[in-house]
Amino acid sequence: QKEVEQNSGPLSVPEGAIASLNCTYSDRGSQSFFWYRQYSGKSPELIMSIYSNGDKEDGRFTAQLNKASQYVSLLIRDSQPSDSATYLCAVNTGTASKLTFGTGTRLQVTL
Amino acid sequence: KAGVTQTPRYLIKTRGQQVTLSCSPISGHRSVSWYQQTPGQGLQFLFEYFSETQRNKGNFPGRFSGRQFSNSRSEMNVSTLELGDSALYLCASSPELAGTDTQYFGPGTRLTVL
């Protein structure tokens, strides 16, 4: 079983819709959770970090964490074509500054 | 505040050669981590340095090594290059403040081994 799992996609949503990206992790000791966005040929860019169970909102983005279910998700409201990218879920088990990444979900926002 | 910088941005080497990549973290950040990204394996952790000491190491062969200087700048070295070492090498820095371990990535160095 992979440590951090994501559906590779592509996930296709129409412009203006809500995109829902999901991630599961295997290590129950995981403490920090991150979503990065990566455009083709570019480096990962931090979108959100979340540390506690529940929701965390930042503009059009909402991260949701459920440690009991070992599940973290990212919702993108009012999706825009510029949101088309690969979204990487990353988990830190607490062993200082060592992130384990999922393989990423490719999001396509269609006009 | 300037972001993480990496040099060079692109590199072409041949098998058997060695290469050194450089990373300058965000000012004030003391932790520097290195990752390898390939289409097949995704993003994989190489190692992490904090205050000039390697704190964590991933599952890579000893051909991959690194170091950190007193100004927090870091270098990674790959010796005896293999074709499979072709990848995007990413450096990330973290402030290592209490309550946050967020990592910020540099633009990466794209290494091609011929």
Q: Determine the 3-state secondary structure of B89 from DSSP.
A: strand
Residues of B in contact with A42 (CB under 8 A): 107
Report yes or no: B25 at the A interface, CB cutoff 8 Å: no
| A61 or B40: which leads in pLDDT | A61
Residue with tokens 């290469």: B19
Mean pLDDT, rounded, for A51-64: 96
Reply yes or no on whether the pLDDT at A20 is more than 80: yes
Structure confidence at residue A95 (pLDDT):
62
Structure confidence at residue B16 (pLDDT):
97
Reply yes or no on whether the pLDDT at A71 is more than 90: yes
Report yes or no: B102 at the A interface, CB cutoff 8 Å: yes
> CA-CA distances (angstroms) from residue A15 to A60, A84, B56?
13, 10, 42
Concatenating the DSSP letter of every residue in chain A gives --SEE-----EEEETTSPEEEEEEES-TT--EEEEEEE-TTS--EEEEEE-SSEEEEETTEEEEEETTTTEEEEEESS--GGG-EEEEEEEE-SSTT-EEE---EEEEEE-
Residues of B in contact with A103 (CB under 8 A): 42
Structure confidence at residue A94 (pLDDT):
66
What is the tens place of the pLDDT at every residue in A75-100? 999 999 999 999 999 998 766 678 89
| First-last CA distance in chain B | 37
With 0-12 / 13-18 / 19 or more C-beta atoms within 10 angstroms meaning exposed / middle / buried, residue B101 is: buried
Residues of B in contact with A6 (CB under 8 A): none
Residues of A in contact with B92 (CB under 8 A): 99
**Paired tokens of A46:** 């931090």
Positive or negative torsion for Cα A50, A51, A57, A58: negative
> CA-CA distances (angstroms) from residue B9 to A42, A72, A77?
11, 33, 34
Positive or negative torsion for Cα B21, B25, B90, B68: positive
Q: Which residue of B has its CA nearest to A93?
A: B101
Structure confidence at residue B64 (pLDDT):
98
- Angle subtended at Cα B58 by Cα A33 and Cα B60, rounded to the nearest 5 degrees: 140
Task: Please tell me which of the candidates A46, A98, A103 has its beta carbon nearest to residue B102.
Answer: A46
Structure confidence at residue B96 (pLDDT):
74
List, run by run, the mean pLDDT of 10-residue segments along chain B (114 residues).
93 98 95 94 93 92 97 97 97 78 94 98
Reply yes or no on whether the pLDDT at A2 is more than 80: no
